[in-house]
Amino acid sequence: MAHASEGRGQEFRLPDLGEGLTEAEIVRWLVEVGDVVAVDQPVVEVETAKAMVEVPCPYGGVVTARFGEEGTELPVGAPLVTVAVGTGEDGAAPAAGTEAAASAGGGSRAAESAGAASTGAESRTAEPVAARAEAAGSGNVLVGYGTSEAPARRRRVRPDRRAATGAAVRTNGRVRVAGPVDGPAEGSADGPVPVISPLVRRLARQNDLDLRELTGSGPDGLILRADVEYALRASAAQGGRAADHEARTGRAPVTAPTAPASATTPGAPRSGTVRTPLKGVRGAVADKLSRSRREIPDATCWVDADATGLMRARTAMNASGGPKISLVALLARICTAALARFPELNATVDTEAREIVRFDDVHLGFAAQTDRGLVVPVVRDAHARDAEGLTAEFARLTEAAHEGRLTPGELTGGTFTLNNYGVFGVDGSTPIINHPEAAMLGVGRIVAKPWVHEGELAVRQVVQLSLTFDHRVCDGGTAGGFLRYVADCVEQPAVLLRTL
């Protein structure tokens, strides 16, 4: 039986999504096997360490195979889908042939019919989809795929891929190709167990570890790499104790009968514990914060400021009838003015060259808490925007962050970060610098407090400001001067007029 993905088709692999990303998790498939796709049509939604991304396929034709189930992590370069690029004159013949085969016959006949339909269509047409794509050009340029011209055909000599990628099965009237497996079909007594990635399965195989003896700590019993590593450490420790006992006594230790796997599995979580994989956004945040703490000698200074004047200025601006100005936009405007006076903080350290790299433009990041974790969108050229423009850009990026639509480019390239943790109802914090930047300004909640104003005790709107900075780029005098200028602008917004 011919595999459903074989034939004269194009194999589309997970492209390089940029920004050093090496893997992505399949969140949702947007196409089924047998669907007809156009050039640059999104076929899958993946989550990287930066954002949720819809991946467009640079080939047009019939989807003959999908690789990986939802929730699977794939490295860059792994196969995503196979597309039979030849279609009929109207572009619908292969789809009809595939659907008819899937509905009329069993799984094997459907797979053979799909392959035959796509191959026959290619031979009947003089202008396949790939050729039409060459004439029209593609609007999406993926790294590793030149979509402005038709890819060159190459014939591959492959072994029988049924054993490597699984057999074709019927699902809801469609021919579906199972992902890579190492054993019999799912559901048999000796079938494969669910693991988070092929790397975990290979690690177990290299160490002669039977995955069926483990109970995964992931969702629905999914076996994680941590489960396998824990089991290997426990096995090594047990083997060491047995060897020591035999060396001392000359007898092998007597072991108790093995209990059921669910009760004795080293990788099984203890009662009352929950394990959450550090992957996706959460994993990226963990890596970046750890690197920041490891590499940056940071220091923090803070000051309380009377924000009554800033709040009154914002009220007056919003009463003028124009677009509403957000508080974070005013704080951002103050940040850019302060960085113009103290450019040492708009910088990074090149550790390899042992140089401080100072930037002319301010690309202002701001911390945004979402359901997927903490992300830091970047407002490009914040120094060139007024309060109204900053308000609009903050709103756009915040909405995209909550909907998971931020692109990798909108999450990288910042030179300074503003962290308004006051929205969580706290007064102060010592934030961790967003590596590789050199500083972060933290803003606490604005709350009514007793304050000495013009020599008299009064109730004023008070805010705590904190600055965490890389001590390699400047000393305390520069950091203190920056923070004092920010506080002066908060207390007397007219100070900003000197920089306009």
What tens digit of pLDDT does each residue of 185-223 get?
Answer: 333 445 556 765 666 777 888 888 888 888 777 766 778
Name the class of domain 10-177: mainly beta
| Whether the Cβ atoms of residue 217 and residue 269 lie closer than 8 Å to each other | yes
Cis check: omega of the bond before 436, within 30 degrees of 0: yes
Q: Which residue has the higher pLDDT, 238 or 341?
A: 341
Residue 114 backbone dihedrals phi, psi, to 5 degrees: -65, -45
Instruction: Name the average pLDDT for the chain.
Output: 75
pLDDT for residue 426:
93
CA atoms within 13 A on the CB side of 207: 17
- Could you state, in order of their start, the residue ranges of all structural domains in the chain? 10-177, 198-264, 280-499
The pLDDT tens digits of the residues spanning 437-462 come to: 999 999 999 999 999 999 999 999 99
pLDDT for residue 117:
40
Structure-token pair, residue 142: 């993926």
Question: Could you confirm whether 475 is annotated as catalytic?
Answer: yes
Whole-model pTM: value is 0.54
DSSP symbols for 111-153: HHHHHHHHHHHHHH-SS-HHHHHHHH--S--BBTB-TTSPPPP
Q: Of the listed 16, 350, 471, 488, which one is catalytic?
A: 471
Is a pLDDT exceeding 70 seen at residue 436? yes
Assigned fold of 198-264: Dihydrolipoamide Transferase (4.10.320)
Assigned fold of 280-499: Chloramphenicol Acetyltransferase (3.30.559)
Report the side by side order of strands in the sheet with 61-66: 10-13, 79-84, 61-66, 36-37
The pLDDT tens digits of the residues spanning 109-136 come to: 334 444 444 444 444 333 444 444 443 4
Place of tokens 């050093």: 20
Closest CA to 397 of 139, 51, 56: 51
Q: Which residue has the higher pLDDT, 143 or 315?
A: 315
Question: Could you confirm whether 245 is annotated as catalytic?
Answer: no
| Whether the Cβ atoms of residue 262 and residue 221 lie closer than 8 Å to each other | no
Q: Of the listed 304, 306, 475, 488, which one is catalytic?
A: 475
